[in-house]
């Protein structure tokens, strides 16, 4: 091979993954001989692969003027890019292996933050304890923001309150009912005064709600419609606001029960009813039914939510 000078044009020969692996091995082992041992090849074969790579890129990757060949500045830069390419190739191989086993490489799940997280985390723990190769990503939205995110990100599964209605492009399983209770701090006048409150009565107080995370942001869960309102980003923040005594609002049972038992919150006796029930859904694209990993996760989620509901009935 003729000696390359800086700026020499590439030879036009195609780069090969083997050449990049040889470059990585030399950089890792520190010598051509070490790379040869690592790759179980002759040192001459390693040298030839590097010569081919240098011709392909039109750059001298090693300085051979000293006792030992060392990477040039160009060689260091090419090494960085080579390792990125090799990393992507290795990842592709892992994905292919996972897909051939029937498991999805990744599952993107969008859920409504009003749903209880504890049984969902138990389901995820069981899923990963099986050694399932599928990587699960969770995104939390609220109300119609769940389906907006599900569609925008082309997610695999969603858990919603069912506010999206019956859409022909979706399939789903019904989950155990979710109950919301109208509450306020135990010392709030809506709790301490013994009477049933009308909608007009409640409008004189601050209503605390969680904002719909969709772009329209117009849906309010079981809202009373008080002109004085505080809108927060999640139900844990809402629970803290309710405990502060600033106002009233709907809280899911799994966040309210212990606080009601401790008399830190109290039920607001609303004349239209202080309970609201929703039937959540776990759904997916009709034309892309759950694969092996998603099917297993769906089963675990349903089992954990049903078990939680059963335990709740025994309280």
pLDDT in tens, 120-147: 999 999 999 988 888 999 999 998 899 9
Q: What's residue 95's pLDDT?
A: 67
Nearest in space to 158 (alpha carbons), one of 293, 301, 303, 296: 301
What tens digit of pLDDT does each residue of 68-85 get? Answer: 778 999 999 999 999 999
Helix (H, G, I), strand (E, B) or coil at 295: helix
- Topology given in CATH for the domain delimited by 17-100: Arc Repressor Mutant, subunit A (1.10.10)
Q: In which residue ranges of the chain is CATH 1.10.10.10 found?
A: 17-100
- Topology given in CATH for the domain delimited by 178-278: D-Maltodextrin-Binding Protein; domain 2 (3.40.190)
DSSP label at residue 137: E
Residue 26 above 70 pLDDT?
yes
Q: What's residue 212's pLDDT?
A: 86
Q: In which residue ranges of the chain is CATH 3.40.190.290 found?
A: 178-278
Residue 23 above 60 pLDDT?
yes
Q: How confident is the model at residue 1 (pLDDT cuts 50, 70, 90)?
A: very low
Dist CA 227 CA 295 (whole Å): 45
What tens digit of pLDDT does each residue of 165-183 get? Answer: 788 999 999 999 999 999 9
- Topology given in CATH for the domain delimited by 106-176+279-313: D-Maltodextrin-Binding Protein; domain 2 (3.40.190)
Q: In which residue ranges of the chain is CATH 3.40.190.10 found?
A: 106-176+279-313
Dist CA 292 CA 134 (whole Å): 9
Q: How confident is the model at residue 219 (pLDDT cuts 50, 70, 90)?
A: low
Q: Do 249 and 183 form a contact (C-beta atoms < 8 A)?
A: yes
Q: What's residue 315's pLDDT?
A: 41
Of residues 51 and 7, the one with the higher pLDDT is 51
- Mean per-residue pLDDT, 7-21: 74
- Mean per-residue pLDDT, 201-210: 93
Residue 312 above 50 pLDDT?
yes
What tens digit of pLDDT does each residue of 109-119 get? Answer: 999 999 999 99
Please calculate the CA angle 282-156-297 and round it to the nearest 5 degrees.
Answer: 60
Residue 310 above 80 pLDDT?
no
Exposed, middle or buried, 280 (CB in 10 Å: 0-12/13-18/19+)?
A: buried
Q: What's residue 96's pLDDT?
A: 73
Dist CA 190 CA 183 (whole Å): 9
Mean pLDDT of all residues in the chain? 87
């Amino acid at each position: 091979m003729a000696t390359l000078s800086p700026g020499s044009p590439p030879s036009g020969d195609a780069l090969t993954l083997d050449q990049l692996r040889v470059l990585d091995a030399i950089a890792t082992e520190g010598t051509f001989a070490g790379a040869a041992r690592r790759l179980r090849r002759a040192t001459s074969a390693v040298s030839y692969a590097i010569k081919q790579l240098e011709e392909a890129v039109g750059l001298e990757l090693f300085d051979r003027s000293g006792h030992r060949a060392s990477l040039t500045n160009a060689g260091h830069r090419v090494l960085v890019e080579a390792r990125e390419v090799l990393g992507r190739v290795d990842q592709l191989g892992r994905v292919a292996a996972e897909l051939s086993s029937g498991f999805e490489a990744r599952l993107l799940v969008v859920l409504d933050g009003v749903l209880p997280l504890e049984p969902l985390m138990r389901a995820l723990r069981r899923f990963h304890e099986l050694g399932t190769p599928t990587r699960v990503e969770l995104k939390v939205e609220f109300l119609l923001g769940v389906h907006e995110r599900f569609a925008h990100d082309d997610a695999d599964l969603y858990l919603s309150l069912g506010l999206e209605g019956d859409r022909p492009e979706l399939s789903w399983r019904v989950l155990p009912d979710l109950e919301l209770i109208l509450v306020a701090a135990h010392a709030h006048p809506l709790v301490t005064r013994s009477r049933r409150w009308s909608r007009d009565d409640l409008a004189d107080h601050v209503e605390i709600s969680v904002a719909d995370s969709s772009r329209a942001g117009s849906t309010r869960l079981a809202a009373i419609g008080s002109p004085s309102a505080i809108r927060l980003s999640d139900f844990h923040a809402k629970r803290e606001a309710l405990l502060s005594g600033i106002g009233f609002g709907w809280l899911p049972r799994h966040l309210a029960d212990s606080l009601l038992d401790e008399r830190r919150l109290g039920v607001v006796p609303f004349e239209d009813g202080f309970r609201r029930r929703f039937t959540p859904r776990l759904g997916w694209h009709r034309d892309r039914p759950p694969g092996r990993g998603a099917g297993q996760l769906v089963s675990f989620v349903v089992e954990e939510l049903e078990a939680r509901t059963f335990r709740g009935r025994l309280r």
